[in-house]
Amino acid sequence: MEINRKVNEMKDKQTEKKKAVRFFSVTMLILLVCAIFIWGFQTSWGKVHIERIYLNSQDGTSVSSLIYIPKTATDETPAPVAVIYHGRSNHAHSNDTWSMELARRGMVVLSPDLQGGGESDPDIDRGIQAITTAQYANSLSFVQKDSLNLIGYSAGTATVLQTYGAMPDKVNSVCEVFGPFMMQMAGGFDFVDAHFGLIKSTADQYDYHFIGDPDACLKATGEMAGIDGLQPNKDYQRNGKLFRYAVIDGTLHQTGNISGATIEEIVKFENDVVEFPVKLDNGDLAWLPQQLFSGIACIAMMFLLAALVNLLMQNEYFASAANPVPRGGTPRKGAKAWCIDMLFSLVIPALIFVHVSAYTIKWTGLGTRWTKILPSANLNGIMAWLVVLALIGIVRMIIRANKAKKDGKPLTLGDYALGADGDTKIDWSKVGKSCLMALIVVIFVFTWLWLIEGFMGINYQVWNLSTYLKMSPMRIVRAIPYCLIIFFVMFVGNMSQRILPSTGNEKKDMWRAVIVNTVLTASALFVLLVAQYGGSMIIGTGQTIIPQIDIYGTGQNTSSGSLDFAFGYCYMMGGTTGVVTYLYRKYGNIWVGVIPAAIFAGMVTLSGFTVLG
């Protein structure tokens, strides 16, 4: 009998290893296939070369930039050139959709990382970095000389004006996307003597907060342009150059990167001020399938996280970090239990987000003592909100523990998902092995991201829902405080794993738990975003549903900032919670899931945010 038991155990282990290898292999295959298709759409299947370059600015610092070089751009047939400047809390890859569409039409495109976006120095003024990139673009032998076409998005619209001011005789055109409020804050654009296009969305909340509704923006733009009776979507001559104020519907400030109407308007303007070497209709766009495959890849990245840990756990050394899966605990069922869960997972988090995030931005923004430690003000707002939720979770656990003690049933580590049923002491060797697994996972993931950018010029990114960039040393260091915060939040949040009534099917129960925990973790931000931005789209003027806070005492009803950049958190925090739940249901403690997931989420999160300070 003992021999048969051991044989069966060996067979079970072999079966688990095969499943783990298959899970990992399928995930990697999906990522590879997606990478090939993304590369194909972004390069017109090899007709455009994409690479990352590093430029030396006038102050000796390095500026990182992507460059798109079509095969039609040669010394004999120089191509028109565009330089795209991203907005706040963005990076070079944020405008991949725009770069791709212009490069498909034969334009050379440079898209730099500015002031802490991507790999550029966060302590250098973005204007210096922008001018360095523009000067380099103008020096290329295969582009049309002294005929730069500058494109800016949001905060990048002000960067365009800085760049133009430094080299006005080198610029052919300026295209400002979603920036009337920035134009006004910059003091106007009357000094620009070049073809000028300004693209505005009717539902842009920044324009609304700083200028007013679309009619107010039209009036303000007309005054800045010096054109009486300015009408939208109509061409004017200004100093003998084209001037166009294009207005589009159905697009928020945050969605300009993936708005077909916005991309088509950019292409249309550039087509009117330069001659595209490759003739395509303005509406012939490849961004939608590119985003589709990027979306599949981003979802697959969460599965890769789970698959990597699962694969490592097949090794005997790491397998010892597992526990018998706790079977105790009272299932959460009934209306009362679900109402309490919804109260603490949805209602309270949604009610406190704006206030917590707004004041955190004020207290940890530029010029405060926190800047060097927690350098992204908008990210700090989200992190503080998560910490407050974790603290509420700790209070709930204390109340639960006291109640159990009074009832004569003191809780053990198994009740907190930290060990097996009956365990009273933490096995720190298991924590150490989980940390080692996290290191292996992060190295593998970022090696893969380094390879696909290095050899294909791409990354996995769906708008700003999720961004996977190769890490730079600077970002690894600056990610550490955020990784610690996310670990604390995940650790506390997963110590009370929801116990659902069993169906008798272990696999079904696992996936039910994964789905429930994922949805409840993501629900508060999801509801806030739908209310704020879905409501704003319905109103259509830029007015926001959720009242914001005048955190700087300007008298303006400004946006708190964090919610504007929180789209990725439904995905990141919900997805990693699902991964932790999956691993917990297989290996009996949250260490093997939380530590890798927290470091993964912290590194990836910071790679997609501008690191200022």
What's the mean pLDDT in 251-261?
Answer: 92
- Same domain, yes or no, for 219 and 330? no
Distances (CA, A) of 478 to 116, 124, 179, 448, 474: 11, 16, 30, 21, 6
Confidence of residue 611 (pLDDT cuts 50, 70, 90): confident
State the pLDDT confidence band at 604, using cuts at 50, 70 and 90: confident
Within 10 A of 190 (CB to CB), how many other CB atoms are there? 11
pLDDT score recorded for residue 552: 66
Rounded to 10°, the helix 473-494/591-607 angle is 140
Is the pLDDT score of 613 beyond 60? Answer: no
How distant, in Å, are the alpha carbons of 152, 295, 304, 436, 441 from that of 448? 31, 17, 11, 19, 11
- Judged against a pLDDT cut of 90, whether residue 150 lies above it is answered with yes
**Judgement on whether residues 252 and 280 belong to the same structural domain of the protein:** yes
pLDDT at residue 465, as a whole number: 78
Q: Is 514 among the domain residues?
A: yes
3-state SS, 248-288, equals ECCCCHHHHHHCHHHHHHHHHHHHHHCCCCCCCCCCCCCHH
Domain enclosing residue 353, as ranges = 2-33+300-607
Say whether pLDDT at 328 is over 60.
no
pLDDT interval class at 400 (50, 70, 90): confident
In a domain, 292, yes or no: no
Average pLDDT, the chain: 90
DSSP 412-475: -GGGGTSSSTT--S--HHHHHHHHHHHHHHHHHHHHHHHHHHHHHS--EEETTTEEE----HHH
Q: Phi-psi bin for 146: left (phi > 0), alpha (psi -120 to 50), beta?
A: left
- Does the pLDDT at position 270 exceed 90? yes
Is the pLDDT score of 58 beyond 70? yes
Residues 98 and 171 in one domain: yes
Q: Quick check: 607 pLDDT over 80?
A: no
CATH number at residue 131: 3.40.50.1820
| pLDDT, position 554 | 65
The per-residue pLDDT for 505 is: 84
pLDDT for 189 equals 95
Q: How does residue 466 score in pLDDT terms, banded at 50, 70 and 90?
A: confident
Q: Binning pLDDT at 50, 70 and 90, where does residue 83 land?
A: very high
On whether both 252 and 319 belong to a single domain, the answer is no
Q: Which of 251, 285, 319 is the last residue of a domain?
A: 285
- Predicted local distance difference test score (pLDDT) of residue 32: 98
User: Structure pTM?
Assistant: 0.93
DSSP 8-class letter at 531: I
| Element of type H or E holding 239 | none
Mean pLDDT of the 68-91 span: 95
Q: How confident is the model at residue 2 (pLDDT cuts 50, 70, 90)?
A: low
Of 117-131, 298-312, 318-332, 448-462, the range with the lowest mean pLDDT is: 318-332
Q: Is pLDDT above 80 for 551?
A: no
- Inside any domain, residue 291: no
Residues 254 and 382 in one domain: no
| pLDDT above 70: percentage of residues in the chain | 95
Q: Please determine, for residue 488, whether its predicted confidence score (pLDDT) is greater than 80.
A: yes
pLDDT mean over 495-509: 79
pLDDT at position 539 = 93
Radius of gyration of the chain (CA): 26
Q: Is the pLDDT of residue 46 over 80?
A: yes
Q: Which pLDDT belongs to residue 50?
A: 98
For residue 41, tell me if it sits in a domain. no
Question: 229 and 349 in one domain?
Answer: no
295-to-35, 300, 467, 488, 610 alpha-carbon distances in Å: 11, 9, 10, 28, 22
Per-residue confidence at 553, pLDDT binned at 50, 70, 90?
A: low
Q: Which of 6-10, 126-130, 156-160 has the lowest mean pLDDT?
A: 6-10
The domain boundary residue, chosen from 285, 312, 329: 285
Asked if the structure places residue 134 within a domain, the reply is yes
Question: Which whole number is the average pLDDT over 542-563?
Answer: 74
In this structure, is residue 490 part of a structural domain? yes
Q: What percent of the chain has pLDDT over 90?
A: 65
Tokens of 250: 């159905």
The answer to whether residue 162 sits within a structural domain is yes
What is the model's pLDDT at position 9? 65
Same domain for 345 and 493? Answer: yes
For residue 556, name the pLDDT band (cuts at 50, 70, 90). low
pLDDT of 370:
80
Give the whole-angstrom CA distance, residue 326 versus residue 330: 12
Q: What is the per-residue pLDDT for 330?
A: 65
Q: Is residue 290 in some structural domain?
A: no
| Domain shared by 508 and 399, yes or no | yes
Q: Which of 310-319, 471-480, 592-601 has the lowest mean pLDDT?
A: 471-480
307 lies in the same domain as 268: no
Question: Are residue 380 and residue 466 in the same domain, yes or no?
Answer: yes
Amino acid type, 397: M
Domain count, the chain: 2
Residue 610 has pLDDT above 80, yes or no: no
127 with 175, same domain: the answer is: yes
For 181-238, how does the pLDDT look when each residue is reduced to its tens digit (9 = 90+)? 999 999 999 999 999 999 999 999 899 988 999 999 999 999 999 999 999 999 999 9
Highest average pLDDT, of 305-314, 459-468, 580-589, comes from 305-314
**424 and 502 fall within a common domain:** yes
For position 509, what pLDDT does the model report? 85
pLDDT at 5: 62
Mean of the pLDDT values across residues 57-67?
Answer: 88
Q: Which two tokens stand for residue 237?
A: 């001559």
Higher pLDDT, 393 or 420: 393
Q: How confident is the model at residue 7 (pLDDT cuts 50, 70, 90)?
A: low
Q: Which of 223, 256, 285 represents a domain boundary (last residue)?
A: 285
Identify which of 51, 53, 57, 61 has the alpha carbon closest to the alpha carbon of residue 121. 61
pLDDT value of residue 449? 95
